[in-house]
């Protein structure tokens, strides 16, 4: 009897194995490129035993409810306005369904991987990281990995031109990385650049305060904190909630914000802030050597605090070295933008109320599944009460020759991501004073990935109506429109290695607006009110008049004249530049 039972059991297992195997061998493509992403070239095959940290993004079971909640707490007309969600409430909405967990874990076990050995799990369980060899990854994803080289930045990455998953898993998995997203922080564009050195006059005079009613013509070419505080009406506001209100700057590319340079900056341009500091936080191998200070990092921290000091500030240094070294057998960071930092900050019990980021890339170079997953993570931060500001880019309506990467080589305006995500606030650029005008490199346009959110339709439609048939076929008129707002973007006096350099780019604009938003949050928090959080529904409605409308200038690119700034919203400067006093009255 025992022998017969064992025989029956063997027969049952033999019969079941092909069925179980078929479950995981019925594969369909998740994402694939038709050509190597522009700027990259195939270099070589990686060693089969090279280790990858494979991130699996599981479907978030109640993501629609999360987004609904985000809009409720962000809409000034809704009864839940300002009632931001806790970490636990957000985790409950983004946690994967048990069926998704079971399916993914069964798939891993089929490939000999114990789910309990996961290298990382987010607290909600929607992100799981496993450590696998290239050979294992190729088998799991029915693909071939390659080492690809980016000559412009010197980056080498291990990526694939396409990958597949078992058909059953498509309804349970949002994205797998590293796979088809070739972007790294080294290959992405930091949205700032140093201007040729010109005579700037007596630097000591820059520290003098300027009357908000009389911004001098010199601010049209040489920007200091005094210029911005006068232009945007923050000069006389004194922060009160500095123990609670927080401002954050994200740093990548092995750039570090330098402590000594900040003090030099304050001594020259904001003497009342001398001695104010910020906290360094290193994420996933980020460094803080205080050597070779970065233009981007110093610009961001100096000008956000140049407006918002003495607000508590944090600079996150997120690891960003090239992830592949052919002669080194070691586990390496996949170095994909945002995921390391997002998983870190979302794991914190409390969130920073205002965060500025000055990096971006062409939307079409980011796989839709990856872009959607990252955008939804920004929604989590917004639901918890964070205002996320992103520079809109320095490529006007599109970078390079603007050719589509779908094999057609069709010339189209190229929107930028993450600026095109509807859950962030994109910041374009201006120049000059009395009046301000759009700067010609200000990134702006319409997403091809994300639909136009209802909060901006009433503002965007008049622009589209006036535009008529101009540029037909070059952009997606039904897409998320950006930028949302703007600020000065050239002539910023930045201390780098003890010396003052003049810097331009929408990297100047984003931390400037972040400084203004941080002061508005200070005002609210000091009154016992909730911070602004995701501001787009507010600024497109009851706070619309809190901005200085920019009505001239354009953003040419792609061999086209680009869009033109106009009365009301436009895809060069958005709603315009912020006026702190007007906004303070509108939100008070």
Determine if residue 568 is labeled as part of a ligand binding site: yes
Residue 161 is classified by DSSP as S
Confidence of residue 490 (pLDDT cuts 50, 70, 90): very high
How many other CB atoms sit within 10 Å of the CB of residue 7? 10
For residue 14, pLDDT over 70 is answered with no
Residue 551 is classified by DSSP as -
Look at 105-114, 173-182, 281-290, 522-531 and tell me which has the smallest mean pLDDT. Answer: 281-290
- State the pLDDT at residue 335: 57
- State the pLDDT at residue 201: 36
Distance of alpha carbon 345 from alpha carbon 248, whole angstroms = 11
Distance of alpha carbon 253 from alpha carbon 270, whole angstroms = 28
For residue 338, pLDDT over 50 is answered with yes
Distance of alpha carbon 172 from alpha carbon 133, whole angstroms = 23
For residue 29, pLDDT over 70 is answered with yes
Determine if residue 588 is labeled as part of a ligand binding site: no
- For 105, residues 6+ apart whose C-beta sits below 8 A from its C-beta are 115
Q: Output the six-digit token pair for 279.
A: 């906290």
Look at 16-30, 243-257, 335-349 and tell me which has the smallest mean pLDDT. Answer: 16-30
For residue 188, pLDDT over 70 is answered with no
- State the pLDDT at residue 204: 38
Burial 64-83 (b: 16+ CB within 10 A, else e): eebbebbbbbbbeeeeebbe
Please give the torsion angle defined by the CA atoms of residues 235, 237, 241 and 243, in that order, rounded to the nearest 10 degrees: 30
- State the pLDDT at residue 21: 65
Task: Average the pLDDT over 310-327 and give the result.
Answer: 71
- State the pLDDT at residue 193: 59
- State the pLDDT at residue 340: 82
Helices 295-308 and 259-269 pack at an angle, to 10 degrees, of 50
Q: Is the dihedral of CA 73, 76, 80, 84 positive or negative?
A: positive
Q: Which helix (H) or strand (E) holds 145?
A: strand 145-150
- State the pLDDT at residue 182: 86
DSSP-derived 3-state class of residue 86? coil
**Structural domain boundaries of the chain?**
24-61+96-181, 190-325+332-529+553-587
For residue 503, pLDDT over 50 is answered with yes
For residue 213, pLDDT over 60 is answered with no
Catalytic residue IDs: 296, 300, 507
Strands 279-283 and 312-318: parallel
Percent of the chain with pLDDT over 70: 88
Percent of the chain with pLDDT over 90: 75
- State the pLDDT at residue 301: 96
- For 86, residues 6+ apart whose C-beta sits below 8 A from its C-beta are 384
pLDDT in tens, 411-445: 999 999 999 999 999 999 999 999 999 999 999 99
Please give the torsion angle defined by the CA atoms of residues 68, 71, 75 and 77, in that order, rounded to the nearest 10 degrees: -10
For residue 187, pLDDT over 60 is answered with no
Phi, psi of 227 (to 5 degrees): -60, -50
The closest alpha carbon to 307, from 512, 504, 495, 584, belongs to 512
Which residue bears the tokens 């809190």?
546
For residue 34, give Cα distances in angstroms to 31, 213, 313, 399.
Answer: 10, 56, 44, 20
- State the pLDDT at residue 146: 95
- State the pLDDT at residue 295: 87
Peptide bond into 575 cis (omega under 30): no
Task: Average the pLDDT over 323-336 and give the result.
Answer: 49
Task: Average the pLDDT over 1-7 and give the result.
Answer: 35
Task: Average the pLDDT over 344-372 and give the result.
Answer: 93
Confidence of residue 328 (pLDDT cuts 50, 70, 90): very low
Say which residue, 2 or 317, is predicted with more confidence: 317
Q: Output the six-digit token pair for 71.
A: 């809009």
For residue 196, give Cα distances in angstroms to 17, 216, 500, 555.
Answer: 68, 22, 12, 22
DSSP-derived 3-state class of residue 317? strand
- State the pLDDT at residue 284: 74
Q: What is the pTM for the complete model shown?
A: 0.91
Instruction: Assess contact for 97 and 61: CB atoms under 8 A.
Output: yes
Task: Average the pLDDT over 239-267 and give the result.
Answer: 91
For residue 19, pLDDT over 50 is answered with no
- State the pLDDT at residue 1: 36
At the fourth CATH level, the homologous superfamily of domain 190-325+332-529+553-587 is: Peptidase S8/S53 domain (3.40.50.200)
Instruction: Assess contact for 309 and 276: CB atoms under 8 A.
Output: yes
Distance of alpha carbon 180 from alpha carbon 160, whole angstroms = 5
Distance of alpha carbon 359 from alpha carbon 379, whole angstroms = 18
- State the pLDDT at residue 202: 37
Determine if residue 570 is labeled as part of a ligand binding site: yes
For residue 7, pLDDT over 50 is answered with no
- State the pLDDT at residue 4: 33
pLDDT in tens, 32-82: 999 998 889 999 999 999 999 899 999 999 999 999 999 999 999 999 999
Say which residue, 99 or 209, is predicted with more confidence: 99
Q: Output the six-digit token pair for 200.
A: 């700037």
- State the pLDDT at residue 282: 82
Determine if residue 549 is labeled as part of a ligand binding site: yes
Task: Average the pLDDT over 106-126 and give the result.
Answer: 94
For residue 15, pLDDT over 50 is answered with no
- State the pLDDT at residue 192: 52
């Amino acid at each position: 009897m025992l022998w017969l039972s064992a025989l029956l059991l063997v027969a049952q297992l033999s019969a079941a194995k092909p069925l179980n195997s078929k479950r995981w061998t019925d594969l369909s493509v998740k994402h694939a490129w038709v050509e190597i992403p522009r700027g990259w070239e195939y270099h070589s095959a990686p060693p089969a035993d090279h280790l990858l940290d494979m991130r699996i993004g599981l479907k978030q079971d109640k993501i629609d409810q999360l987004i609904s909640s985000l809009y409720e707490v962000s809409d000034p007309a809704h009864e839940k306005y300002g009632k931001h969600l806790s970490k636990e409430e957000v985790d409950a909405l983004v946690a994967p369904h048990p069926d998704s967990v079971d399916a993914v874990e069964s798939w891993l076990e089929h490939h000999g991987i114990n789910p309990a050995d996961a290298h990382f799990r987010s607290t909600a369980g929607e992100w799981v990281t496993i450590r696998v060899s290239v050979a294992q990854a190729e088998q799991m994803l029915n693909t071939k990995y390659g080492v690809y080289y980016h000559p412009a930045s010197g980056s080498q990455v291990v990526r694939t031109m396409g990958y597949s998953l078992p058909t059953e898993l498509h309804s349970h998995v949002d994205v797998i990385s590293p796979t088809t997203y070739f972007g790294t922080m080294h290959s992405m564009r930091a949205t700032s650049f140093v201007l040729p050195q010109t005579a700037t006059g007596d630097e000591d005079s820059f520290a003098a305060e300027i009357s908000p009613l009389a911004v001098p013509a010199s601010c049209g070419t040489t920007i200091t904190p005094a210029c911005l505080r006068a232009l945007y009406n923050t000069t006389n506001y004194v922060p009160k909630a500095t123990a609670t209100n927080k401002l954050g700057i994200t740093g990548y590319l092995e750039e570090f914000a330098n402590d000594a340079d900040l003090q030099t900056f304050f001594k020259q341009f904001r003497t009342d802030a001398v001695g104010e500091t910020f906290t360094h936080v290193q994420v996933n191998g980020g460094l803080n050597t205080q050597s070779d200070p970065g233009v981007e990092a110093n610009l961001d921290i100096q000008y956000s605090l140049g407006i918002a000091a003495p607000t508590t500030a944090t600079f996150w240094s997120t690891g960003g070295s090239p992830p592949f070294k052919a002669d080194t057998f070691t586990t390496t960071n996949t170095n994909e933008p945002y995921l390391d930092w997002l998983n870190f900050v979302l794991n914190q019990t409390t969130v920073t109320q205002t965060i500025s980021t000055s990096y971006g890339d062409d939307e079409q170079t980011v796989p839709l599944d990856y872009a959607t997953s990252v955008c939804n993570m920004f929604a989590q931060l917004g639901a918890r009460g964070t205002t996320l500001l992103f520079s809109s880019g320095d490529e006007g309506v599109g970078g390079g020759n603007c050719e589509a990467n779908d094999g057609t080589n069709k010339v189209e305006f190229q929107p930028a991501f993450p600026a095109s995500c509807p859950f962030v606030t994109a910041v374009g650029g201006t120049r000059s004073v009395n009046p301000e005008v759009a700067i010609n490199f200000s990134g702006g346009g319409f997403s091809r990935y994300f639909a136009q959110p209802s909060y901006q339709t009433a503002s965007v439609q008049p622009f589209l109506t006036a535009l008529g048939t101009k540029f037909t076929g070059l952009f997606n008129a039904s897409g998320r429109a950006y930028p949302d707002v703007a600020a000065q973007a050239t002539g910023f006096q930045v201390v780098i290695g003890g010396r003052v350099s003049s810097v331009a780019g929408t990297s100047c604009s984003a931390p400037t607006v972040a400084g203004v938003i941080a002061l508005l949050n200070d005002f609210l928090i000091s009154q016992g009110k909730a911070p602004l959080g995701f501001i787009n529904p507010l600024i497109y409605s009851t706070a619309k008049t809190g901005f200085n409308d920019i009505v001239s200038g354009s953003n040419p690119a792609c061999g086209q004249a680009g869009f033109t700034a106009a009365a009301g919203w436009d895809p060069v400067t958005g709603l315009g530049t912020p006026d702190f006093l007007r906004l303070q009255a509108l939100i008070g």
